[in-house]
Amino acid sequence: MDSKELREKFICFFKERGHRIIPSSSLIPDDETVLLTTAGMQQFVLYLMGQKDVIEEFGTRHLASVQKCFRTPDIEEIGDDTHHTFFEMLGNWSIGEDKEKGYFKKGAIELAMDFFIKEIGLPKERIYVTVFKGEGSVPRDEEAISIWKEHGFPEERIGEFGMEDNFWGPTADTGPCGPCSEIHYDRGESYGCEETCGPNCEKCNRFVELWNLVFMEYNKNEDGSYKKLSQKNIDTGIGFERLVSLLQEEDSAYETDLFAPVIKKIEELSGKKYEENKKEFRVVADHVRGSIFLIADGVLPSNKGVGYVLRRVIRRAVRYKKELGMKSLRDIVNVFINEYGDIYPELKEEDVLQVVEEEEKKFIETLQAGVAELHKKMPKASNPKEIGKKLFLIYQSYGFPFELSMEELEKMMPGAYNNAEEIKKFFNDELCRHQEISRKGMKEKFGGLSRNAENEEIKLHTATHLLHQALREVLGDHVKQMGSDINKERLRFDFSHPESLSKEEIEKVEMIVNEKIKKDLPVEKKEMSFKEIQREKILAFFEDEYPERVTVYSIGDFSAEVCGGPHVKRTSELGRFVIKKEESSSAGVRRIKAILQP
Ligand code: SER
């Protein structure tokens, strides 16, 4: 069955059974507590919680959709058989079963069995299911077990698992969630590890999870407790790519009609074979597909939040494309737009191409700066220790991954690869050393100013935030605070940067800080959760040191930083900012001393 037919079949099946088909929502959710749409239920959260009336909005409790989704935790895994950044999710919902005409576990299981077995013809003897075994305050799902038994599943084909596998959600820190039943498919012994293996086996991929039926009747609260929702809901999801692979009898979606035209195009453009370069082909294909969908939903590459996700996937696609020896991503973009354009009309060729190509240009410029730096530094580096340390500086300044630097190095110093392991060890030592300095800096930062800090010190503290951001604007985003010390006379700020600042750079930094002071920007304090901090990419470099909730100080739109305070109310209180000294603090760390004049 081809993928288009499967989408159609799913939609028709649920339409015929009284469901209203809801178009996919954007990859960027309205809900500010999450970064991206990661599941079909995202657009229905308020209805699931009973905060919005589903009948008033949709005229029915029964909904179904094919939803665009994007997940980032697995980005490094892309290239294997099953992970994707962008994917589609087929789902159906019954919102408020206890109200008139809703359905709950029995109805959801019946629909799932009908679709899988009667509609698309999966052999029932290959199907295994799992249920929630009970954990913490949520009891064992006796009801689901007895419904599966009524459907003819013997006990040995009903697996019982805990919170980790059979309790789904919420997508944010709090929100709707519940125990779930998963439907797994047995691909046969040839995929297995041993006779006793079953669903959720960690050693092999004989069993694939196809459909997740969530019995959504809880809300997770801020204190971590689960409270019953005012209504019961069904929320289900099928990973579309996975089902397509199974129906087309392939091990991964890259070999199905979803990706076949693109894989063919990459072979054509690179002159290389997919079978011999699977990882590179798959990364390029996955990331280009993910990028075009993000761009179509209005995302632009940046260093914050979802813009940073886009930047990362485009840059990774460019790196792997380079490895395959391909010139441009243009034709790949076109193939995807042809394939998906009639299903998702928001995909517009010109917009997408422009964004991708501009970002590629920026990335190439950065790479070239990194290579030039490498050339400049290398002649003096003779042994693995020196090389490792230098590669770390390049990594820190340009985000040049170790492997890429090693490739360039090999070109300049043939044979360097022979020492790769040793070089990597010194690279890692340097990384640890810097993290340690960071940690110390953090302690200083939170311990930094005492509550009754003098007025002058408070002013210098706000000036430190302005300086930090100004340095990032002038020198680049690799600049990170490594330490800070303030007394009544001056501020001292240590930050990561590989070389001394030029006179022009110092002047520019001063100018920016003074400009922001003149603008009389408000300084505001906000409480945020660590998740929110990550989402907004607020300056915060010391992840393992943070408490659950932290305070963030923002200065107009210019700067936002995790900080214990205190600060002035408005920047005009600061006076004139003057940098007195710029010097080295330790390898890869610079130090600035600055004062404020009335
Ligand atoms: N929300 C559940 C999931 O993502 C079911 O769709 O698995």
> What is the per-residue pLDDT for 362?
85
CA of 150 from ligand 1 middle (Å) equals 24
**Joined tokens for residue 268:** 């054509």
Question: If you measure from the C-alpha of residue 221 to the centroid of ligand 1, how many angstroms do you get, rounded to a whole number?
Answer: 19
Q: Looking at ligand 1, which residue's alpha carbon is closest to its atom 4?
A: 39
The pLDDT of residue 244 is 98
Predicted TM-score (pTM) of this structure = 0.72
Ligand 1 centroid – CA 92 distance (Å): 10
**Distances 187 to 123, 166, 235, 579 between C-alpha atoms, Å:** 11, 21, 26, 67
Domains of the chain: 3-254 (3.30.930.10), 259-366 (no CATH), 381-443 (no CATH), 446-597 (3.30.980.10)
CA distance 130 to 200: 9
pLDDT value, residue 408: 74
Atom of ligand 1 nearest to the CA of 41: 1
Q: How far is the CA of 504 from the centre of ligand 1 (A)?
A: 54
Q: Point out the ligand 1 atom lying closest to the alpha carbon of residue 169.
A: 1
Tell me the CA–centroid distance for residue 39 and ligand 1, in Å. 6
- Confidence (pLDDT) at 446: 44
Q: Helix and strand tally (H, E) in the chain?
A: 18, 16
What's the 155 CA to ligand 1 centre distance in angstroms?
Answer: 25
pLDDT at position 379 is: 67
Residue nearest to atom 6 of ligand 1 (CA): 237
Distance 204 CA to ligand 1 centre (A): 23
Please give the DSSP secondary-structure letter assigned to residue 419. Answer: G
CB 447 within 8 A of CB 563: no
Q: pLDDT by residue for the chain (598 residues), tens digit each? A: 999 999 999 999 999 999 999 999 999 998 877 889 999 999 999 999 999 999 999 999 999 999 999 998 777 789 989 899 999 999 999 998 755 667 899 999 999 999 999 999 999 999 999 999 999 889 999 999 999 999 999 999 999 999 999 999 898 888 999 999 999 999 998 898 876 789 998 888 899 999 999 999 999 998 889 999 989 999 999 999 999 999 999 999 999 999 999 999 999 999 999 999 999 999 999 999 999 999 999 999 887 778 888 988 998 899 899 889 999 999 999 999 999 999 999 998 888 999 999 999 888 787 777 777 777 777 665 688 888 888 888 777 666 677 777 877 787 778 888 888 999 999 989 888 877 776 665 555 444 454 457 788 899 999 999 999 999 999 988 888 888 888 888 999 999 888 889 999 999 999 999 999 999 999 998 887 766 776 665 665 443 444 556 788 999 999 998 887 889 999 999 999 999 999 988 777 899 999 999 8
Q: What are the two backbone dihedrals, phi and then psi, of residue 324, each rounded to the nearest 5 degrees? A: -80, -5
Ligand 1, closest atom to CA 38?
A: 4
Whole-number Å distance, alpha carbon 236 to ligand 1 midpoint, is 5
Residue 493 per-residue DSSP state: E
Q: What is the CA(237)–ligand 1 centre distance, in A?
A: 5
DSSP code per residue over 121-165: ---GGGEEEEEE--BTTBPP-HHHHHHHHHTT--GGGEEEE-HHH
Q: How far apart are CA 537 and CA 306, in angstroms?
A: 9
Q: How far is the CA of 177 from the centre of ligand 1 (A)?
A: 10
End-to-end CA distance of the chain: 75
Q: Which long-range contacts (CB under 8 A, 24 or more apart) does 405-408 make?
A: 405/370, 405/374, 408/371, 408/374
Provide the pLDDT for residue 538: 61
Nearest atom in ligand 1 to the alpha carbon of residue 91 is 6
Which of 25, 45, 168, 184 has most ligand 1 atoms within 8 Å of its beta carbon, as the pocket-test mutant?
Answer: 168
The pick from 22, 38, 41, 243 for probing ligand 1's pocket by mutation, whose C-beta has the most ligand atoms within 8 angstroms, reads 41
Mutate to test the pocket of ligand 1, among 22, 235, 242 (most ligand atoms within 8 A of CB): 235
Minimum-distance ligand 1 atom for the alpha carbon of 214: 5
What residue's CA is closest to ligand 1, atom 3?
237
CA 241 to ligand 1 center in whole angstroms:
14
Quick count: other Cβ atoms within 10 Å of Cβ 472?
18
**How far is ligand 1, taken at its centre, from the CA of residue 41, in Å?**
7
Closest atom of ligand 1 to 39 CA is 4
Ligand 1 atom showing the smallest separation from residue 40 Cα: 6
Pocket of ligand 1 (CB under 6 A): 39-41, 91, 168, 212, 214, 235-237
Mutate which of 236, 238, 242 for ligand 1? The one with the most ligand atoms within 8 Å of its CB, which is 236
Q: How many CA atoms lie within 13 A of 123 on its CB side?
A: 6
- 268, with CB counted inside 10 A (0-12, 13-18, 19+), is exposed
